[in-house]
Amino acid sequence: MSRIGKLAITIPAGVTVEVDKANRVTVKGKLGELQQQLDPNISVTIEGSELTVNRSDESKDVRSKHGLYRSLIANMVEGVSEGFKTVQEFVGVGYKVEVQGQVLDMALGYSHYILFTLPPEIKAEATAERGKNPRLIMRSHDKQLLGQVAAKIRSLRKPEPYKGKGIKFEGEVLRKKAGKTASK
| % of the chain exceeding 70 in pLDDT | 97
pLDDT of 102 higher than 80: yes
Residues β-bridged to residue 169: 88
Domain layout of the chain by residue ranges: 9-81, 84-169
Query: What b/e readout covers 138-158, taking b as 16+ CB neighbours within 10 angstroms?
Result: bebbbbebbeebbeebbeebe
Matching CATH topology for 9-81 and 84-169? yes
Which CATH number is correct for 84-169, 3.90.930.12, 3.30.360.10, 3.90.180.10, 1.20.120.1230? 3.90.930.12
Decide: pTM greater than 0.95: no
CATH architecture of the domain 9-81 equals: Alpha-Beta Complex (3.90)
> What pLDDT digit, counting tens, does each position of 137-162 carry?
999 999 999 999 999 999 999 999 99
